[in-house]
Amino acid sequence: MTQAYCKLVKDLALNFWFTHLPGWCALAVLTYSANVSAQLKFALIGKTKNDSFYQQSLKGCQAFSRTIPDLTCVYDGADDYQDVRTQVLIVKEYINKGIDGLLISTTDSRFLVSGALQLAKEKNIPVITFDSDLLEQHQTYRLAYVGTNNFDFGVALGKAALKYKTFDPQPFCIQSGHQTTPNLNKRIEGVRYALSGSASTRLNGQSGWIEYDRCPLYTMGRRDDSLNQLLTILDYKQPPIFLAVAGFAQFNPEYSIKLLDYKQRIKAGDITIISADTEQIQLQALSNGLSSINIGQNPHEMGRLSAELLYRYVKSGEKPKKSTYYLDFHYCNQENVATCTVNY
């Protein structure tokens, strides 16, 4: 039997199939063929793009995507600081392109919902927040949150300061990012609660702790501003305990160079620097005696689990079983810096 004859028989059989079988059956075959090759695309959008924390979250999303045949993770965010308008514009752009799902770390909840997530809901594009959740009144615009319990994380940062108290009242200065960012504000509440038993008000000394003039300092996530703020505080005759609720100054590649002049004062306990996050650049500074303690999160798992939950929903309609998926955090100091965490 020749190849030409075999091809003729095959073509006739296919023609019979589509001509004589019911229309819905032929359509099912075509739909199945399309779905086999369909590739889902999720956009992971951090507060800033040039941030190793969110880059680790992307790697987590990609790690999950390698376990399945039909998912691609793309990465975006404001270029170099926490710009609420840019985040909204980026999210809206992906919505209009027809993205299959969104993983977002919230900079400003109200602005994000009104500017983009209402549109996502209209277009049935599902959203999972990670790292920074929407405010409670906006949480109908996301399926679930994956990340740190940020109030508890703030409590941990505050408790870390207790051992460094040398005055009564003890001055301290909180450094944050954007004034409206939900997770950072929860951390500030946690710090105050740990030091006073109250999360709602600025500490004025009655609990033995007093917030330094001009603090909290807000950086918008700008690394140069963050480092300059820290250096200004450290140059005071009796600097307050410095407590950063995210990496900020320590994400600046100049941090270790600029802090060398203060290394002996850190070692002597005259200067205390407590920082959230344990990215590799921070661990290097910690190992060189340029930070007192770092408390870190799990950005890789945030990205991996967020992608898994979103994928299950998109593929099969399976909603996350919980509204919040809290992940552990860890403590790094100069003694355990080599083993306290793994960065990807």
For residue 27, the model assigns a pLDDT of: 35
Task: Report the distance separating Cα 193 and Cα 263, nearest Å.
Answer: 30
Q: What is the pLDDT of residue 206?
A: 85
**Rounded distance, CA 314 to CA 317, Å?**
6
At 35 the pLDDT is 40
Q: Going from the N-terminus, what domains does the chain have, and what CATH number goes with each? A: 39-148+299-328 (3.40.50.2300), 150-296 (3.40.50.2300)
Short-list 98, 102, 115, CA closest to 143: 102
**Distance between CA atoms of residues 103 and 29, nearest Å:** 33
Structure confidence at residue 120 (pLDDT): 98
pLDDT of residue 198: 83
Pairing mode, strands 170-176 and 324-327 = unpaired
How far CA 237 is from CA of 171, 234, 266, 298, in Å, comes to 13, 8, 14, 36
The confidence score (pLDDT) of residue 201 equals: 86
**Which residues of the chain have a pLDDT value below 50?**
1-37
CA distance 34 to 38: 6
Note the pLDDT of residue 200.
75
> Which residues are paired to 275 by β-bridges?
244, 294
The CA distance from 330 to 151, in Å, is 15
Q: 237: buried, middle or exposed (CB in 10 Å: 19+, 13-18, 0-12)?
A: exposed
- The residue assigned the tokens 């027809």 is 98
Give the pLDDT confidence of 84-112 residue by residue, as tens digits. 999 999 999 999 999 999 999 999 999 99
Work out the burial of residue 12: count CB atoms within 10 Å of its CB; fewer than 13 is exposed, 13-18 middle, 19 or more buried. Answer: exposed
pLDDT of residue 80: 86
Q: What pTM value is reported for the model?
A: 0.88
| Whole-number Cα distances in Å, 195 to 45, 160, 173 | 34, 10, 13
